[in-house]
Amino acid sequence: MGIDSTHRRFSWKGALARHSSALIFLFLFACFSLLSGRFLRIGNVVNILEQSSLLAVVAIGITFPIITGGIDLSVGSLVALCGALAAGLVTGHAVPVPLAIAMVLALGALLGGINGFIIVAGRFQPFVVTLATMAITRGATLVYTQGRPISGIPASFTFLGDRVAGIPVSLLILLIILILFQGLLRFTPFGAHLYALGGNEETARLAGISVHWIKIGAYSISGGMAALGGIILTARLWSAQPQAAVGLELQTIAAAVLGGVSLAGGSGGLAGTLLGALLMGTLANGLNLLGISSYLQQVIIGAIFIAAVMLDLWTKERHGESSQGALS
Amino acid sequence: MNFVLQAQGITKSFPGVQALKNVSFSVSPGSVHALVGENGAGKSTLMKIISGALASDEGTLFIDGEERILKNPREAQDLGIAMIHQELTILPLRSVAENIFLGREPRKAGGILLDYAALHTRATDLLNQIHVSVDPSRPAGTLSIAQQQMVEVAKALSLRARVIIMDEPTSSLTSRETSTLFQIIGELQKCGIALIYISHRLEEIFSIADTITILRDGQTVHSAPTADLTPDSVVRYMVGRELKEVFPQGKDSRGDTILRAEHLSGQRFTDVSFSLRSGEILGVAGLVGAGRSEVARALMGLDPLQGGTLLFQGEQIVPRSVRAMMRHGFAFLPEDRKAEGLFLNMSVRDNLAISMLDRVFPFGIIRPRLLLRLIRDYFHRLNIKTPSPLQRIKHLSGGNQQKVIIARCLSLKPRVLILDEPTRGIDIGAKSEIYTIAQDLAAQGVAIIMISSELPEILGISDRILVMREGKSVAILNQGEATQDLIMHKAAGGTSWE
């Protein structure tokens, strides 16, 4: 019986087919390098990575509900709420920084888990539930901050938005969670069950998968990563803004989709999402360097988004195989 | 002779596979031409070529004696060739009439407005033509599968089809619906319409077909008038070998009673009682809608039990969830392979392994090599044929897909295995393998409940047969006393036998 070996040989062609947005990424990178002398400098590349890391962290989180075939619209508001709470804890209540971070991360995961619980227990559409909690969370942020920024953050906290030996701390955080969650997706039953659930929920239930807990877990991860995003944002800005991260949920969804994560569920992975986030960061950075007005920037970003999705569809059709297996 | 459709020397290959090799056949007006063969024999490819969905590499198609090259299904339709797919293409929320005339709706006011009155009357005419009484304004999704099929037939008629291809039309019909379909086929024949009829059910083929063509490995192995063939000879041509023992004769391996159901009731069944011994195969017969699958789902904890008691090894249990029942040692092969059984876009390995991951890797980390070893073991035991464990399961044949789901059940080390229509839509070779697997499991002491709508299968494999009718258990028959007639009378509610 001809059974392939477990080792899959890496091929650039296959990798590009899986992540066609990499092509666009390389293309844009080349364009900006040619058009702007400042673009390719090490300092600027580090800037891009630093600026993309917040989006990437939250986008990695939202990838989990999207793989189940759901969505989490509350992440933007959750970034703001958790950022404000972290600021409040370390300033007003003088809670030690590590404890404050742990508390906020736990709260984010809990609030995300509550999203999942409502979706599962009420059999509601994830879109509807998280649209509601998006409003609730944003409102709670405004109530908590009374609409005013919280500043006076101690240096032990703003360190998270700083750099060590020229390397942004947020980038290191991003790398750690990327490795952690990539492992979770590829090498644990949770990951396998997540893809199964997204592929066919009824089959997953009949196969004895605890569909409810997997879903709650997915939203919990999304909430936890939004909390981490809030912490990074507060550290970077040296203050918490009640209107922070408005619309971030749409940017994270865009990053995931650019990275080839299907909104229908069951396919996609974190490498793609990361690439999508980097693509968006590069685009914003490059257009700024070229001095293109922020009004026109939105038009260009939208057009490139459409182009990326079309290219993705086209390469997938040509290669047939597209979505990744759960364990592969 | 005068043929409406003639295919000559059709050859088609896909990368790595010769799907069709020099296949010829012809269809005359008003006749039923049955096409049989195991899965993978090339039937679907041939039909795709005839209906314009696929181009052949070599060979010619003659329609009404004229050579034609079909570029797409639309051209085939225009020339009078319509195909009714096994998976119907009904829009559930649109009305019957709109479905029939989809894309070709009658218009008025110079083509700006839809002419609903004309739509309605024309649909009614077509439905009357085949003696189907369905309100054309009903949403098509509210119809039974059989009625939806009639809508597809009406659609083919509206296209003025002269050749209608039916792919496994009876796979989800009751026997009464099947005979209605056959009447309609008779009506179509009278109008001079030719039918190409694809089915695994030899009984049906022998009752309606004029000609039978048998494909094997992409080639025509035999084509003859039905009168010159017997079911045995057709099977012989299909598999290319003698299949004497379709039903292996297992020894009686029955042990103690492991499961006892007393007066169970739930969604769409009431007062169902039976007992099951370890090592026993209990067949469950009944018409579609008799509540057989509902009982299976309730036993598995998918739907709630509303009354009665269930004793497992003498202790009362309540099926609360699939996971709870799996811990008791229950495993379930669902009826609808694609919708409930498979993760179509995932690999063979993932489909097989998905239920055992928690148990085999208790620390939550998957070890890929160990997993592959475990999976290979199932490949050998169940003779699962796949180019690679990483192959997406949707590319496997129905029989191999079903064996992967059985392997998934076995990975749970079941004490009680519930099989709901395990051989639906798979070829006869794979069926025989599945019977052997069931017998082997019974010999190892697994208690098996097997629901099937095919009576020969139920009779061939069961130690005892539970017959259900309208949500109730009406009889339990021992292997010696059961016959097709007796089961049908119990299942349909005949009184003469009671």
Per-position DSSP letters for B99-137, written without gaps between them: HHTTT---EETTTTEE-HHHHHHHHHHHHHHTT----TT
- For residue B392, list chain A residues with Cβ-Cβ distance below 8 A: 321, 325
B350·A327 Cβ contact <8 A = yes
Look-up: residue for tokens 């994560």?
A: A261
Q: Which of B98, B445, B420, B178 is nearest to B291 (CA)?
A: B420
Q: Is the dihedral of CA A196, B342, A312, A26 positive or negative?
A: positive
B390·A325 Cβ contact <8 A = yes
Identify whether the C-beta of residue B361 lies closer than 8 Å to the C-beta of residue A189: yes
Instruction: Choose the most confident range, by mean pLDDT, from A102-111, A203-212, A274-283, B28-37.
Output: A102-111
A328·B347 Cβ contact <8 A = yes
Looking at B130-201, list the stretches that DSSP marks H as alpha helix, in order from N- to C-terminal side.
145-158, 175-190
B323·A210 Cβ contact <8 A = yes
- d(Cα B56, Cα B69) in Å, to the nearest integer? 9
- d(Cα B142, Cα A289) in Å, to the nearest integer? 60
Which residue in B14, B343, B344, B419 has the most chain A C-beta atoms within 10 A of its own C-beta, making it the best mutation to test that interface?
B343
Top pLDDT among A286 and B489 is at A286
B355·A208 Cβ contact <8 A = yes
Q: A6: pLDDT confidence band, cut at 50, 70 and 90? A: very low
Q: Which of B177, B173, B193, B175 is nearest to B185 (CA)?
A: B193
Look-up: residue for tokens 């996971």?
A: B323
**DSSP assignment string, A149-202:** -EE---HHHHGGGSEETTEEHHHHHHHHHHHHHHHHHHHSHHHHHHHHHHH-HH
For residue B293, pLDDT over 70 is answered with: yes
- d(Cα B39, Cα B168) in Å, to the nearest integer? 12
- For residue A3, list chain B residues with Cβ-Cβ distance below 8 A: 372, 376, 379, 388-389
Helix (H, G, I), strand (E, B) or coil at B338: helix
Out of B339, B355, B369, name the one closest to residue A202 (CB).
B339
A200·B355 Cβ contact <8 A = no
> How near does any CA of chain B get to the CA of A326, in Å?
7
- d(Cα B99, Cα B424) in Å, to the nearest integer? 28
For residue A327, pLDDT over 50 is answered with: no
Residue-wise pLDDT for A39-84, tens only, equals 888 889 999 999 999 999 999 999 999 999 999 999 999 999 999 9
Q: What is the pLDDT of residue B251?
A: 66
pLDDT, chain B, mean:
87
A199·B412 Cβ contact <8 A = no
- d(Cα B237, Cα B219) in Å, to the nearest integer? 11
For residue A324, pLDDT over 90 is answered with: no
Out of B361, B366, B387, name the one closest to residue A2 (CB).
B387
Out of B322, B343, B371, name the one closest to residue A208 (CB).
B322
For residue B288, pLDDT over 80 is answered with: no
B332·A206 Cβ contact <8 A = yes
Which tokens in the block code for residue A283? 């685009």
Region of poorest pLDDT, from A7-21, A144-158, B472-486: A7-21
B345·A193 Cβ contact <8 A = no
- For residue A184, list chain B residues with Cβ-Cβ distance below 8 A: none
Q: What is the pLDDT of residue B75?
A: 86
Out of B340, B350, B368, name the one closest to residue A6 (CB).
B368
- d(Cα A246, Cα A244) in Å, to the nearest integer? 6
Write out the H or E segment, with its range, that includes residue A49: helix A42-67
Top pLDDT among B487 and B251 is at B487
B392·A208 Cβ contact <8 A = no
Q: Could you tell me whether strands B416-420 and B66-68 are parallel, antiparallel, or unpaired per DSSP bridges?
A: unpaired
Which tokens in the block code for residue A49? 């990575």
What is the end-to-end Cα distance of chain A in Å, rounded? Answer: 20
Report the complex ipTM: 0.75
Q: What is the pLDDT of residue B409?
A: 95
Q: Could you tell me whether strands B107-108 and B315-316 are parallel, antiparallel, or unpaired per DSSP bridges?
A: unpaired
Top pLDDT among A11 and B75 is at B75
Nearest CA in chain A to B301: A206
Q: What is the pLDDT of residue A304?
A: 86
For residue B477, pLDDT over 80 is answered with: yes
B388·A2 Cβ contact <8 A = yes
For residue B89, pLDDT over 60 is answered with: yes
For residue A268, pLDDT over 70 is answered with: yes
- d(Cα B360, Cα B30) in Å, to the nearest integer? 59
Which tokens in the block code for residue A150? 């919280």
Q: Could you tell me whether strands B81-84 and B32-36 are parallel, antiparallel, or unpaired per DSSP bridges?
A: unpaired
Asked if A52 reaches chain B (Cβ–Cβ under 8 Å), the answer is no
Nearest CA in chain B to A203: B340
Show contacts of B72-78: CB within 8 Å, 24+ apart.
Answer: B76/B50, B76/B51, B76/B52, B77/B52, B77/B159, B77/B161
What percent of chain B has a predicted confidence (pLDDT) above 70? 95
Nearest CA in chain A to B362: A189
Question: CA torsion, points B126, B129, B131, B135, in degrees to nearest 10?
Answer: 20
**Does the predicted model carry a pTM greater than 0.80?**
no
C-beta atoms surrounding B364 within 10 Å:
13
Q: What is the pLDDT of residue B385?
A: 87
B379·A1 Cβ contact <8 A = yes
- d(Cα A222, Cα A225) in Å, to the nearest integer? 5
- d(Cα B348, Cα B351) in Å, to the nearest integer? 5
- d(Cα B90, Cα B151) in Å, to the nearest integer? 8
B388·A4 Cβ contact <8 A = yes
Region of poorest pLDDT, from A152-166, B111-125, B399-413: B111-125
A192·B354 Cβ contact <8 A = yes
Q: B494: pLDDT confidence band, cut at 50, 70 and 90? A: low
**DSSP assignment string, A247-296:** THHHHHHHHHHHTT--TTSS---HHHHHHHHHHHHHHHHHHHHTT--HHH
Q: Which residues of B touch A (CB under 8 A)?
A: 300, 302, 322-323, 326, 332, 334, 339-347, 349-350, 353-355, 357-358, 361, 364-366, 368-369, 371-372, 376, 379-380, 385, 387-390, 392, 408, 412
